[in-house]
A and B are shown apart, each in its own frame.
Chain A
Amino acid sequence: MKTRFAGTDTYVATDDLMMAVNAAVNLARPLLVKGEPGTGKTQLAEEIAKALDRPLICWHIKSTSKAQQGLYEYDAVARLRDSQLGDERVHDIANYIVKGKLWEAFDSELQPVLLIDEIDKADIEFPNDLLLELDRMEFFVYETQRRVVAKHRPIMVITSNNEKELPDAFLRRCFFHYIRFPDKATMERIVDVHFPGLKKRLLRDALEVFFDLREVPGLKKKPSTSELLDWIKLLLAEDIPREALRSDAPRTAIPPLHGALLKNEQDVHLFERLIFMNRRDAR
């Protein structure tokens, strides 16, 4: 049985991305996805789940997340309270074991897609604590002396923003894919998927402005795909005429609604200064 992922009607997957997903699904390895922010890393898991018709379980990692939380937690406080009230439940410790996301995924009747989002946010030891669970797809609950084994090996998608180096032992167990920033052709397809009715010429003008803007040196946060999509949505909503984007005087006009593209005050300042300088030079 071979599963094939080929993107969906709302997600454009490049050839290498498709290969990465197919390899990870068929060889049952977790897929580690990195890439610039806003290139659709988290989106990928959702789309895989949709395309393969599997349930999606998301585990969003925070700096305080512990690997144990993904397996289970023992709610000692609830048990203490129940013991004070003389509740009958207190005699069975299993009542106070709270399932984590990983356990949830292991229990799923249908092979699920498990997203571990932004794994680099957690403590440096976090990935190491999950090695055995990722390898064997099982873990042991000490409180109830019970072994939990996955019914189906979940399809795992792990995203990282590169804020921390991940340990080698962990990397060895994963497949790795880096989502490159899409080139113009791919970008056109992406926009087309999101705004099917968009006029070709408006799109071309918008993309030109967008890629020009990415070229501006010194930007702290370059606009990415998600910003472009937001911007186009705004352009459409405001009904900006195509002429406003015309680049007959390139780099001398501030594109309309640029707030959607530049998210940093200093970037906006820098950009305005550059425009001003270009305008002065052009004169």
Chain B
Amino acid sequence: MLVEFFHKLRNARIPVSVTEYLAMLEGLQLHVAGCSAEEFYYLSRVTLVKDEKYFDRFDKVFSAHFEGLEEWFEQLFGDIPEEWLAKQAELLLSDEEKRKIKTSGGWEALMKTLRDRLQEQTDRHQGGSKWIGTAGTSPYGAYGFNPEGVRIGQDRSRNHRAVKVWDRREYRNLDDNVSLGTRNLKLALRPLRRFARQGALEELDLDDTIRATARNAGLLDIKMIPQRHNAVKVLLFLDVGGSMDIHVRTCEELFSAARSEFKHLEYFYFHNFLYDFVWRDNLRRRSEQITLMEIINTYGRDHKVIIVGDASMSPYEISMPGGGIEYWNEEAGAVWASRLLAAYPYAVWLNPVAESSWRYTQSIQMTQALMKDRMFPLTLKGLEDGINALKQSVN
């Protein structure tokens, strides 16, 4: 009976091995567990399961097996995971529906119509497909869905696309004292470390001292070496505000991990895409800007560049001069991106948006192409891949 139970556990993909099974039998033999089912349950769980993430599965198998239920297997894997359901609900619109919504006219037409409508409009409007208001399919206004929409009066962007931000907002500085979850990220960043001994002689080199002392006929000859330091240098560019709001938590964690992992870390903020300038402090973003050229001239080619952003925006913001939502940029974002890439061949783009939905956003594909396919999702796996890619030059 118990062998069958053991096999059922294995079928449910709980990693139990014979060692653990024998340990459980040993426990039964020693009467660690009394006669009650509850004690047997605790004993089998403590001996067989080695991670709390399997507890739920174990419970299901246990109850199915010991109550003689037959359809436990379907139950186990036939269930629709809750997370998945939640995500579906979040999406609100199907991709088909999204595709159905046609983008309206070109860039110039969009701006002109908006100007006209702003003049026309006199009162508040909700729903519908022409007026500026909320929850409609018109390209103007907030809380609606149109891929080329212009955002007016909305504090959180929903569909990640807006051509101009009318309401000026303050952005939160990414904070670096989050301790939760950063640990995994740190471990993922760790492969990038490159140790080198540079600088002052500070540490006793025991091996060398012993060798030198022996050569010196036993008279102590002390050898010192510089301390080992992590010599990798990183420039981190972070997208803030707008569509990045929902990813703030992940980015905070990444930032916090990077801060403690790299000694030579310079970080800069940008909004949506890289243009002439970036900034360091979000509160003084309008007064203390650093031009990208200055960065390129200041930091050497051996710096690794990590750009973090969702790359979800209107395609104009990448391809057109003047497409930036902050100000009038003389040169298109694409020009600046390739300039940066030419200056720093060791670069990757990390994207907090799930990889499976990248193909639905045109700007992500454009960025992906600009980055020469060096865009990775901001997950542990993606980060590892990205760090590996960082070790090789783009060209």
Contact residues, B40-65 vs A (CB, 8 A)? 42-43, 45-47, 49-52, 55
| Pair B51/A27 contact, Cβ less than 8 Å | no
Closest-CB distance, B163 to chain A (whole angstroms): 31
Please name all residues of chain A whose beta carbon is closer than 8 Å to the beta carbon of B55 when the two chains form the complex.
Answer: 178
Please name all residues of chain B whose beta carbon is closer than 8 Å to the beta carbon of A221 when the two chains form the complex.
Answer: 179-180
Closest-CB distance, B123 to chain A (whole angstroms): 27
| Pair A80/B39 contact, Cβ less than 8 Å | no
| Pair A80/B220 contact, Cβ less than 8 Å | yes
Please name all residues of chain A whose beta carbon is closer than 8 Å to the beta carbon of B220 when the two chains form the complex.
Answer: 80, 84
Given contact pairs A27-B30, A84-B220, A172-B20, A15 touches B50 in the complex (Cβ within 8 A): no
| Pair A23/B218 contact, Cβ less than 8 Å | no
Please name all residues of chain A whose beta carbon is closer than 8 Å to the beta carbon of B179 when the two chains form the complex.
Answer: 220-221
Chain B residues bordering chain A, tally (CB within 8 A)? 36
Closest-CB distance, A185 to chain B (whole angstroms): 16
| Pair B30/A76 contact, Cβ less than 8 Å | no
Please name all residues of chain B whose beta carbon is closer than 8 Å to the beta carbon of A172 when the two chains form the complex.
Answer: 17, 19-20, 50
| Pair B206/A23 contact, Cβ less than 8 Å | no
Contact residues, A89-126 vs B (CB, 8 A)? none
| Pair B46/A23 contact, Cβ less than 8 Å | yes
| Pair B30/A26 contact, Cβ less than 8 Å | yes
**B213 contacts the other chain (CB 8 A):** yes
Closest-CB distance, B50 to chain A (whole angstroms): 4
Please name all residues of chain A whose beta carbon is closer than 8 Å to the beta carbon of B321 when the two chains form the complex.
Answer: none
| Pair B47/A23 contact, Cβ less than 8 Å | yes
**A251 contacts the other chain (CB 8 A):** no
| Pair A178/B206 contact, Cβ less than 8 Å | no
Given contact pairs A80-B213, A174-B50, A175-B46, A26 touches B32 in the complex (Cβ within 8 A): yes
Interface residues as binary, A14-37 with B (CB distance below 8 Å gives 1, 0 otherwise)? 011001101110110100101000
| Pair B206/A76 contact, Cβ less than 8 Å | yes
Interface residues as binary, A163-183 with B (CB distance below 8 Å gives 1, 0 otherwise)? 110001001111111100000
| Pair A19/B23 contact, Cβ less than 8 Å | no
Closest-CB distance, B185 to chain A (whole angstroms): 11
Contact residues, A152-202 vs B (CB, 8 A)? 163-164, 168, 171-178
Please name all residues of chain B whose beta carbon is closer than 8 Å to the beta carbon of A283 when the two chains form the complex.
Answer: none
| Pair A176/B27 contact, Cβ less than 8 Å | no
Interface residues as binary, B115-153 with A (CB distance below 8 Å gives 1, 0 otherwise)? 000000000000000000000000000000000000000
Please name all residues of chain A whose beta carbon is closer than 8 Å to the beta carbon of B31 when the two chains form the complex.
Answer: 2
| Pair B38/A22 contact, Cβ less than 8 Å | no
In Å, the complex CA distance between A154 and B55 comes to: 28
Interface residues on A, range: 20 to 34
| Pair A77/B206 contact, Cβ less than 8 Å | yes
Closest to B220 in A: A84
Please name all residues of chain A whose beta carbon is closer than 8 Å to the beta carbon of B175 when the two chains form the complex.
Answer: 266
**A83 contacts the other chain (CB 8 A):** yes
| Pair B20/A177 contact, Cβ less than 8 Å | no
Closest to B38 in A: A15
Q: Pick the residue among B32, B50, B180, B187 that contacts A23 (CB under 8 A).
A: B32
**B33 contacts the other chain (CB 8 A):** yes
| Pair B52/A23 contact, Cβ less than 8 Å | no
In Å, the complex CA distance between A181 and B382 comes to: 32
| Pair A175/B47 contact, Cβ less than 8 Å | yes
Closest-CB distance, A221 to chain B (whole angstroms): 7
Closest to B49 in A: A176
Closest to A22 in B: B32
Closest-CB distance, A44 to chain B (whole angstroms): 14
Closest-CB distance, A123 to chain B (whole angstroms): 10
In Å, the complex CA distance between A229 and B184 comes to: 30
Given contact pairs A171-B50, A172-B17, A29 touches B23 in the complex (Cβ within 8 A): yes
**B15 contacts the other chain (CB 8 A):** yes
Closest-CB distance, A278 to chain B (whole angstroms): 20
Please name all residues of chain A whose beta carbon is closer than 8 Å to the beta carbon of B340 when the two chains form the complex.
Answer: none
Given contact pairs A19-B43, A176-B49, A2 touches B20 in the complex (Cβ within 8 A): no
Best-buried of B30, B50, B180 by chain A (most CB within 10 Å)? B50
In Å, the complex CA distance between A168 and B210 comes to: 40
**B178 contacts the other chain (CB 8 A):** yes
Closest-CB distance, A23 to chain B (whole angstroms): 5
Interface residues as binary, B279-307 with A (CB distance below 8 Å gives 1, 0 otherwise)? 00000000000000000000000000000
| Pair A83/B45 contact, Cβ less than 8 Å | no
In Å, the complex CA distance between A178 and B47 comes to: 12
Please name all residues of chain A whose beta carbon is closer than 8 Å to the beta carbon of B45 when the two chains form the complex.
Answer: 16
**B170 contacts the other chain (CB 8 A):** no
Closest to B51 in A: A176
Please name all residues of chain B whose beta carbon is closer than 8 Å to the beta carbon of A24 when the two chains form the complex.
Answer: 46
Given contact pairs A23-B27, A164-B187, A266-B175, A16 touches B42 in the complex (Cβ within 8 A): yes
Please name all residues of chain A whose beta carbon is closer than 8 Å to the beta carbon of B326 when the two chains form the complex.
Answer: none
Q: Pick the residue among A2, A76, A177, A220 that contacts B210 (CB under 8 A).
A: A76
| Pair A34/B52 contact, Cβ less than 8 Å | yes
In Å, the complex CA distance between A177 and B175 comes to: 34
**B202 contacts the other chain (CB 8 A):** no
**B183 contacts the other chain (CB 8 A):** yes
In Å, the complex CA distance between A29 and B23 comes to: 9
Interface residues as binary, B160-184 with A (CB distance below 8 Å gives 1, 0 otherwise)? 0000000000000001001110011
Closest-CB distance, B84 to chain A (whole angstroms): 21
| Pair A20/B42 contact, Cβ less than 8 Å | yes
**B330 contacts the other chain (CB 8 A):** no
The 8 listed contacts between A and B (C-beta, < 8 Å) are: A15-B39, A19-B42, A23-B46, A83-B218, A175-B47, A176-B50, A220-B179, A221-B180
In the A-B complex, list the 6 residue pairs whose CB atoms are closest, starting with the nearest: A19-B42, A178-B52, A171-B50, A20-B46, A163-B183, A176-B50
Known: A19-B42, A27-B26, A164-B183. 18 other contacts (CB 8 A): A2-B32, A16-B45, A19-B39, A19-B43, A26-B32, A76-B206, A80-B210, A80-B213, A172-B17, A172-B20, A174-B50, A175-B46, A178-B52, A178-B55, A220-B179, A220-B180, A221-B179, A266-B175
